Chains A and B, each alone.
Chain A
Amino acid sequence: MLQRFVNTSNAMSPSVPLQEMIRAIRSARTQCEERGVIQRECAAIRAQFRQADNGGRSHNLAKLLYVHMLGYPAHFGQMECVRMIASPRYSEKRVGYLGAMMLLDEKQDASLLITNSIKNDLSHSNQYVQSLALCTLACMGSAEMCRDLAPEIDRLLRASNSYIKKKAALCAVHIVRKVHDLGELFAPAARSLLAEKNHGVLHGAVVLITELCERNPETLERFRKTVPDLVQIMKGLVISGYSPEHDVAGISDPFLQVRILRLLRILGRNNEAASDAMNDLLAQVATNTDSTKTVGNAVLYETVLTVLDIKSESGLRVLAVNILGRFLLNNDRNIRYIAMTSLQRIVGTDHNAVQRHRGTIVDCLKDQDASVKRRALELSLALVSATNIRSMMKELLLFLSSCPLELRAQAASGIFNAAERYAPSQRWHIDTILHVLTTAGGDVRDETVPNLIQLITNTSELHCYTVHKLYRALLSDISQQSLVQVACWCIGEYGDLLLRGECQETEPVQVTEDDVLDALETVLQSHMSAPATRGFALTATMKLSTRITDNVDRIRSIVSIYGSCIDVELQQRAVEYNALFKKYDHMRAAVLERMPVIEKNSPGHTNGESTREAVKEVQPAKVKQAETLLPQQPASQVCDLLDLLGGSEEPLQPNPAVGSTLPVLPVSTSSTAGGDLLDLLGGLEPTPLTPAPTVTVYEKGGVTLTLSSEKQSDSGLTVTLTACNSTDSDISSFTLQAAVPKSVQLHMKAPSGDSLPARGAAKVTQMVALSNPNKVNLKMRIRISYTSQGSAFQDTVQVDSFPEH
């Protein structure tokens, strides 16, 4: 039996006691039995430790180390390690040092006790003993130990054999990592080591120099002079003949080559001269390295990374990107993976070069391996552009339908961003979003619903098409909450278009009022619907009461049923809608009228998230406001409108959505209006001398309306509206109306006039006094009406924030 473990070749004889224990542990049939064996063994080991030197000490410690590896506590062996390290016997030192590396780390007090032993062993006459000390120091040396022993290491770097020098070099690396200042100490020795022929020493030297350069920019400057030497060494490796000692599949010492390439990268970065000096070499390595095996590709990979990071000439850069392109076609999955990670890094700077490989990258989306898929997705999203959006989106949508679950959210989000940036048409945009919602509706972010609703609202010519499409989607599947929410909202809003039965863009369906209400009721009653979704459905049902003619009673009954629903949100809505039916029926039409165009990027609402995020994440910032406008409308709208009806001269009528969004309201002050305001302010309330900041709140059809505000008191604010006409024809009957939230009081002063001559010859101003005692969030809706060239115009704009003065 033992024969198996006694090696015939060159291995030394095994420890019988150790192997017996291992066998005993392994033959335990249960965890409990194993614990028993181990407890017994540990007790025996402890007893042995307490005894004097009995020649079996190293066996015992080895046993303990085995037990430790199985996961059992072994801290009582720490002192034994210290004792063994101090022993004169090599066998004991060997196990002692191994134990120190396994059981002690710099945080243990016992580790300090071995410092002296290490110091002594570093100057031992036998190199294998020196080696043990060096190894242990490099493994677990604390900062203090490193400081203490650094001079000794430096001595060994200069004057010892290759075996010791190479270890001393790596020890120095560890010391520098622990105590950064000591880098200076080793720099001269490191420099001279580059002249060595021994590969082990050379490798250690390159690692040490790399470490020193990475830590200290001045050191890096000094070591730039070594670039020619490094290039020479590298050339020697690349063009040398077969060297049996260092050959790996035809490559001579790939480990050393890679380290040299990495050092060259650091030295060549941001430095023209150094980069020039290595240009030829890099080209040579790139072309001559055999890429049939992994090892060759490892060297090529490092070469590519270096070329792309230094100031290489364009020909070399193209060569590097082409190597990556070849990697993409490699059968080996690992190679494809690293090709994509590298391309990801340069897709920003060398975009066109990477675009050339787009086809291959997109193919990698179909790879079996999850890591490869992930990389391919990230890279594909980075490569989407205005020219390839249609074909890329086809691929991405295909990917989405079969991609692994952990990638779906990322894919959906990436698709939305891409669609947002490069949509060739609005219909395409809406179709794409709908497609995503049908395939992966459960994995999209929450903002998707309001974003999509905003998009739909703003695309008025497609309302009919959209509502038909969504209705059909709703009929087939009500499990994807985001999709159902959007569908309900659209049906509520554009139900009349659905019922009309005609549609230009798509095959219309013959839908009856009952069909539509059935669909909404299904959503309301389904156990698959989330509470938010049911809220959408209920509101939509209510909205339909003004858009359908025959089945209003059915709606009334649905609404009253939910008045006693357990879900508090639904109950509240139902009760309010009931009230709308009973007491405020005369207002129902106005309350439930079509939504106006929702503005993008309305200022004044703080959104903790993403306004600082990269370009990709444009969406989240926008529509918190829309969110608040949506399901909660009826209650707040009733109040707002009551105010409107009380405060202004005539009730506002619905304003047909005009297709494009109103301009963004800048919050920053505009300096140009300062002069005008000084003019306006003559004759009115006393104002400070500095001009008030002005914002442009409306700019369409040549008519510009600017607003400036001024605090009069703690709760009082005076708003000045100024209108200007830049068209070629005069404008007459220009009137402004304003509405504000409930608790705010509004008083409009008489305007300066009601005609706006052409080409901005004169302006109209109007002052509005506001009192906001409850300090609510101040908003104002302004209705602009005028006549121009015989036709009447009307528009509404909402102001959400007032420039601070």
Chain B
Amino acid sequence: MRFLLLFSRQGKLRLQKWFTPIPEREKKKIIREMTTMVLARQPRSCNFLHWKDLKIIYKRYASLYFCLAIENHENELLALEVIHRYVELLDKYFGNVCELDIIFNFEKAYFILDEFLLGGEIQETSKQIVNRCIESSDMLQETMEEYMSKPAF
């Protein structure tokens, strides 16, 4: 996988994860192109697009578009499952997740993503394990903070 973008229907970026090193200017350009391309798609179209030498898999969940770029030899249908899995993880964590959750708790969305994907590949295929790890990390943060009697992050 090359990158994952989440953006709203107005094209506002909510999350960006890049799996290969890309200059800042290039990233901005790609984001613009992706949002333009994906937002222009008809409602019941195919979820796959071709862009340069990559395949773009996108899916809309409520007011958010999830846009995943994969290499040509990767499985598109599985990419749809990857997106769905991430949404499920967010949903479990936030309880009925919506766009606002991701806006106001963006750093947590990243933490969850980093337990699910790593270096552009899937690192854990079990939902329960990912959730448990996030909980434990959160717990660690809270208890360590309490222990050190400083305000929690």
Contact = CB atoms under 8 A, between A and B. Distances in A.
B125 A203 contact: yes
Interface string A164-181: 001100110110000000
B141 A12 contact: yes
B63 to A, nearest CB: 14
A59 B48 CA distance: 38
Given A5-B105, A7-B95, A171 B48 contact: no
B40 to A, nearest CB: 11
A207 interface: yes
A323 B122 CA distance: 27
B142 A294 contact: no
Contact of A334 (B42, B46, B140, B153): B46
B104 A22 contact: yes
A55 B48 contact: no
Interface string B87-102: 0000001110000110
A269 interface: no
Interface stretch (A218-226, A368-376, A477-485, A527-535): A368-376
B119 to A, nearest CB: 4
A13 B152 contact: yes
Given A58-B153, A167-B118, A171-B119, A258 B75 contact: yes
Contacts of A174: 119
A484 to B, nearest CB: 35
B36 interface: no
Nearest to B139: A12
Interface in B82-133: 82, 93-95, 100-101, 103-108, 110-111, 114, 118-119, 121-129, 131, 133
Interface in A719-771: none
Contacts of A55: 150-151
A174 B128 CA distance: 26
Most-contacted residue by chain A among B126, B127, B131, B138 (CB, 10 A): B126
Contacts of A170: 118-119, 121, 123
A294 B77 contact: yes
A758 to B, nearest CB: 65
A140 B20 CA distance: 8
B153 A95 contact: yes
Contacts of B22: 105
A91 interface: yes
Secondary structure call for the A interface = helix
Interface string A43-77: 00000000000011011001001100111000000
A12 B111 CA distance: 12
Given A5-B104, A22-B103, A139-B119, A334 B142 contact: no
B119 A138 contact: yes
A650 B102 CA distance: 91
B9 interface: no
B33 interface: no
Given A105-B21, A334-B47, A166 B123 contact: yes
Contacts of B94: 7, 9, 11
Given A14-B105, A334-B76, A338-B76, A62 B123 contact: no
A305 B28 CA distance: 35
Contacts of A333: 44-46
Contacts of B145: 89, 91
A13 B151 CA distance: 11
A494 interface: no
Interface stretch (A246-254, A557-565, A593-601): A246-254
Interface in B39-72: 42, 44-50
A297 B80 CA distance: 11
Nearest to B135: A10
Contact of A107 (B21, B47, B124, B153): B21
Contact of A128 (B124, B128, B137): B137
A8 interface: yes
A301 B129 contact: no
Contacts of B139: 12
Given A5-B101, A22-B103, A245-B128, A12 B138 contact: yes
Most-contacted residue by chain B among A70, A128, A301 (CB, 10 A): A128
Given A7-B94, A10-B138, A11-B94, A135 B107 contact: no
Contacts of B153: 15, 58-59, 62, 91, 94-95
Contact of B81 (A7, A204, A255, A338): A255
B144 interface: yes
A13 B144 contact: no
Contacts of A369: 42, 44-46
Nearest to B22: A105
Given A95-B153, A139-B19, A163 B133 contact: yes
A166 B124 contact: yes
Interface in A4-50: 4-5, 7-15, 18-19, 22, 26
Nearest to A302: B75
B114 A337 contact: no
Contacts of A15: 107, 153
Most-contacted residue by chain A among B44, B50, B105 (CB, 10 A): B105
A174 B145 CA distance: 33
A371 B45 contact: yes
A126 B126 CA distance: 22
Contacts of A389: none
A666 to B, nearest CB: 41
Contacts of B42: 368-369
Q: Give the 10 A-B residue pairs with the shortest CB-CB distance, closest first.
A: A298-B77, A138-B119, A12-B138, A91-B153, A174-B119, A170-B118, A371-B46, A298-B78, A200-B124, A105-B21
Given A203-B124, A253-B125, A298-B80, 11 more contacts: A12-B108, A91-B141, A105-B21, A131-B137, A135-B118, A170-B121, A200-B126, A203-B125, A255-B82, A295-B81, A297-B77
23 contacts: A10-B138, A13-B152, A15-B153, A19-B104, A66-B106, A69-B15, A94-B137, A95-B153, A134-B118, A138-B118, A139-B118, A170-B123, A204-B123, A207-B121, A254-B81, A258-B75, A294-B77, A295-B81, A298-B81, A302-B78, A333-B46, A338-B48, A371-B48
Interface of A: 4-5, 7-15, 18-19, 22, 26, 55-56, 58-59, 62, 65-66, 69-71, 89-91, 94-95, 98, 105-107, 126, 128, 131, 134-135, 138-140, 163, 166-167, 170-171, 173-174, 199-200, 203-204, 207, 245-246, 248, 253-256, 258, 262, 294-295, 297-298, 301-302, 305, 333-335, 337-338, 368-372
